[in-house]
Structure 1
Amino acid sequence: MSEPTRLTELSAVRLVEGYRKGEFSPVEVARAALERAERVQPDVNAFVRIDTESALVRARESEGRWRRGEPAGAVDGVPVTVKDILLMRGGPTLKGSRTISASAEGSWDEDAPSVARLREQGAVFLGKTTTPEFGWKGVTDSPLSGVTRNPYDLSRTAGGSSGGAAAAVALGAGPLALGTDGGGSVRIPAAFCGVFGLKPTYGRVPLYPASAFGTLAHVGPLTRDAADAALMLDVISGPDARDWSGLGPASGSFTDALAGGVRGLRVAYSASLGGQVAVQPGVARAVRRAMEGLAGLGAHVGEADPDFSDPVEAFHTLWFSGAARVTQRLGPRQREVLDPGLREIRELGARLSALDYLAAVDVRMDLGRRMGAFHERYDVLVTPSLPVTAFEAGVEVPGGSGYRRWTGWTPFTYPFNLTQQPAASVPVGVDGGGLPVGVQVVAARHRDDLVLRVGHALYEAGVAGVVPPRL
């Protein structure tokens, strides 16, 4: 059982069970995960830093606690990766940007709240994962760290902006990963890489420092399955005084909530948001099969579209303003080394007025009202996570699509950052070319338990999950 490739295929839930039973040790698991990370890194480029020495130190400490029967918490000894947007003490946080100096501005001495909660409960940090510059787009490439590639086809993108995190999980370089999601940045790479990705209700996972993209930005897990995401959310949703907008302690365990099943749930299936989105046939087929699976589990599945038109202009106003804010301190020479797309949208954002911003907030509030009414009729909304599967690596939009920005091919994800609802991408198969397809599950604000329960039911029934990549 201690052969490295086997250990790297185990879920976090299974690892903790194995530690408890003495089947294998945190040191064995850490070595296997680190070996896997080093082996796939040249091909995929999922990491900006692999922290071998410090990971093994933490693994040895964890091994001692398990030997004494005194684990520090629910994830003691479990390998975790952290997106290089979130602070993690002991190393720099460079955010994919040449404009941040590792020596002066990398914040070596402080953990983000989610990292702090994982550290307190004994997680083993393998390293930091790649991100586009300041997490600004839905694919993962940056002037600092280059292109992150898809584990299923190295010529294609892993998605973004948490592309390194999703690729690491898919490849067995740690079963748990921390990502951030401001417009789909957990769900997009989860869909492209065949893993589970959850954007919790805004504030459920505290965030510090506050994002320049404001209350669009969520922190969430990328994992092997919904059970691992629930385990991780139980840990990282712990309160932190540094986040003034945090929700405080959850009312119960997300892991305990998995057992409810979906029988009797009212599920609204929207294949194209009322004809607004053109979906690739292979994606549409996989998502429809998943809906049939939910119906077979006893859910009441009906086709229904939410009552809103594409809010992309309002999203752009808020997003471009955030881009201007995150780069505001930079001088002319530093701006010249920015990702050209980021430089373009920050210039657009700098020209927006306070009235423009507040008008976008009005759209956001109306969208939230509409979705609140929708969830009085339906427990969850299910859509494709994305209308496309992974496309060429190193570009912002699919070739020949005619899209100008990444939001053109992510119409199912960013609306639910505007509304702050919990939403997850669940892998439900592959298209004709063998590329993963995700289905998105959305629930009303504060009903993260429902999203996780639906995802878990799909895994338990064999509807969710894809064969791992064999790099």
Structure 2
Amino acid sequence: MAPQPSAANPADLPATELLNLYARRALSPVTVTQAVIARAEAAEPHLRALYAFAPEAALEAARASEARWLKGEALPLDGVPVTIKENIARKGVPMPLGTAARDDVPPSVSDAPATARLREDGAVIVAATTMPDYGMLSSGLSSIHPLTRNPWDLTKGPGGSSAGSGAAAAAGYGPLHLGTDIGGSIRLPASWCGVVGLKPSHGRVPLDPPYYGRCAGPLTRTVADTALMMRSLSRPDERDPTALPPADLAWLDLDGLELKGLRLGLVMEAGAGLPLDPANRAVIEAAVQLLADAGAVVEPVPPFLSQKMLDGLDLFWRQRASLDIEALDATRRARVLPFIRDWAAGGRDLSGAAVFHGMSQMAAMRDAALAAIRAYDFLIGPVSPNPPFPAEHASPTNDPARAMAHIAYTVPFNMSEQPAISVPAGFTPDGLPVGLQIAGRRFDDVGVLRLARAFERIRPALRPWPVVA
């Protein structure tokens, strides 16, 4: 069973329940939005998950939503509060990409595709959420935003780069939160904050601009809310030339997956990066046993990522970041988070051949991940090798030379364009969340959601959500 929300506070209710209550006129979008604003105002001095918090605009949208419900003209997400990661454009809001080097960037002139879909469907946009410089850290450390912390333990970070999204979801700033993921930036904070986080198939959610491996997707407290959000986010937008063809997928048909006989490949060892922490291993082993007890056929899969692949990708990303930073004047360059400057410096003097070979490792990851799943319906395993780490650290190693050592479980599925989800699996002895990763075949986003929902049903009850005030 999933943790039960507090009936006394509508900020904790899932979106699926909110829509039912709105339809019965048992609850108002205005009341819910007021509760979310109050929750955020109480917790933000501690969490610092939000950017461009706009309570008055949210209340205005909630009042418009309430009027539509009363007239029988409700939209698919009408009146449901949502936050949107800072690097997903929202008309009229500056988008500094987490760095003080862009502290005077002008407001965005239009909504990004995902923002537009949420607005079209009546969602109430409460705020943007924080991210680290250029989205290139798995932490809440930024040169422009205050340090974002983990609601389960304020001494720990929420992960990143969808740092504020993960923290806001766990803290109950409403039910729906939108992040992005290029190497684990949705799934890692989802795992470390104890929420559901889906990286869809590449192109399933249109982006502007698109980039290798980059996806936008939901962070929520339940699989059903993730599916509900995907129904809106996956609608087409011609601005993304890499978008998948429009498809009428059964996003809300989550039940009925037969676990008995399902073929699951267990990726317990990543093959590169940090070793798996014993506390994380114990939680994943218990989750795998639940699936096996339900009749799934679980077989170990040898590591398919190599250190050469991870190092090659790291070099390619360093070179890309170096080009962005070196294009800045000296004053702006000095504003970039020092960790990011030091990491990007490793790409400054690379030869063309080195960059080419680094980029070729993206294709090697793709081929390895697709080969690994060929004999299975899904791959399962850890999301992260480690529990949440100190909030002040830029990464689990806190070492620019090993900045990518923790993404070995997640990044292959960005390169292979497969859907992958983090679903809460349990807690370490210290009470820190651990997520189970489920990866599907290319384009089987609904299948991944169905298996996540099936696991959610057989999983023991989780701990109550943290209260931050």
How would you bin the TM-score normalised by the shorter chain?
A: over 0.9
Supply the distance in 1 between the matched residues of 2:327 and 2:247 (Cα, whole angstroms): 37
How much does 1:290 deviate? Answer: 0.7
Q: Which amino acid aligns with 1:93?
A: M
Describe the SS at the equivalent of 1:82: strand
Residue 35 of structure 2: which of 21, 32, 36 is its match? 32
Partner of 1:106: 107
Taking only aligned residues, the RMSD between alpha carbons, in angstroms, comes to: 2.1
How much does 1:287 deviate? Answer: 0.6
Supply the distance in 2 between the matched residues of 1:450 and 1:4 (Cα, whole angstroms): 31
Supply the distance in 1 between the matched residues of 2:440 and 2:225 (Cα, whole angstroms): 19
Partner of 1:53: 56
Describe the SS at the equivalent of 2:110: coil
2:365 corresponds to 1:364: no
Contact 1:191 1:436 in 2 (8 A): yes
2:148 corresponds to 1:148: yes
Stretch moving more, 346-355 or 225-234: 346-355
Residue 313 of structure 1: which of 308, 311, 314 is its match? 311
Partner of 1:163: 163
Q: Which amino acid aligns with 1:106?
A: P
Q: Measured at CA, do residues 113 and 259 of structure 1 come closer, stay the same or move farther in structure 2, by a change above 3 Å?
A: farther
Partner of 1:208: 208
Supply the distance in 2 between the matched residues of 1:331 and 1:4 (Cα, whole angstroms): 53
Supply the distance in 1 between the matched residues of 2:272 and 2:290 (Cα, whole angstroms): 23
Question: Structure 1-normalised TM-score?
Answer: 0.93
Partner of 1:396: 394
Q: Measured at CA, do residues 148 and 402 of structure 1 come closer, stay the same or move farther in structure 2, by a change above 3 Å?
A: closer
2:18 corresponds to 1:20: no
Describe the SS at the equivalent of 1:153: coil
Residue 447 of structure 1: which of 439, 444, 447 is its match? 444
Question: Deviation string for 1:311-353 (max 9, x for gaps)?
Answer: 2112112321331344354112110111112212333333234
Contact 1:194 1:436 in 2 (8 A): yes
Partner of 1:381: 379
Q: Which amino acid aligns with 2:100?
A: R
Q: Measured at CA, do residues 277 and 133 of structure 1 come closer, stay the same or move farther in structure 2, by a change above 3 Å?
A: closer
Contact 2:254 2:453 in 1 (8 A): no
Supply the distance in 2 between the matched residues of 1:162 and 1:126 (Cα, whole angstroms): 16
Matches within 5 A, 1:215-230: 215-230=212-227
Supply the distance in 2 between the matched residues of 1:182 and 1:414 (Cα, whole angstroms): 7
2:412 corresponds to 1:409: no
Stretch moving more, 153-162 or 308-317: 308-317
How much does 1:90 deviate? Answer: 3.0
How much does 1:441 deviate? Answer: 1.0
**Residues paired across the two proteins, number:** 463
Contact 2:301 2:372 in 1 (8 A): no
Describe the SS at the equivalent of 1:150: coil
How much does 1:126 deviate? Answer: 0.5
Matches within 5 A, 1:230-241: 230-241=227-238
Q: Which amino acid aligns with 1:181?
A: D
Partner of 2:283: 286
Partner of 2:173: 173
Residue 349 of structure 2: which of 351, 376, 383 is its match? 351
Structure 1 unaligned blocks of 5 or more: none
Partner of 2:90: 88
Contact 1:396 1:405 in 2 (8 A): no
Supply the distance in 1 between the matched residues of 2:406 and 2:365 (Cα, whole angstroms): 20
How much does 1:5 deviate? Answer: 4.9
Percent of residue pairs identical: 37
Q: Which amino acid aligns with 2:53?
A: I
Q: Measured at CA, do residues 390 and 329 of structure 1 come closer, stay the same or move farther in structure 2, by a change above 3 Å?
A: same
Question: Deviation string for 1:78-122 (max 9, x for gaps)?
Answer: 1000111110113222222222244x5231x31110000000000
How much does 1:466 deviate? Answer: 4.3
Contact 1:81 1:165 in 2 (8 A): yes
Describe the SS at the equivalent of 1:156: coil
Stretch moving more, 325-334 or 26-35: 325-334
Partner of 1:9: 12
Contact 1:82 1:129 in 2 (8 A): yes
Supply the distance in 2 between the matched residues of 1:461 and 1:3 (Cα, whole angstroms): 22
Supply the distance in 2 between the matched residues of 1:403 and 1:50 (Cα, whole angstroms): 32
Stretch moving more, 139-148 or 123-132: 139-148
How much does 1:154 deviate? Answer: 0.6
Contact 2:269 2:303 in 1 (8 A): no
How much does 1:292 deviate? Answer: 1.2
Supply the distance in 2 between the matched residues of 1:237 and 1:4 (Cα, whole angstroms): 31
Partner of 1:76: 78
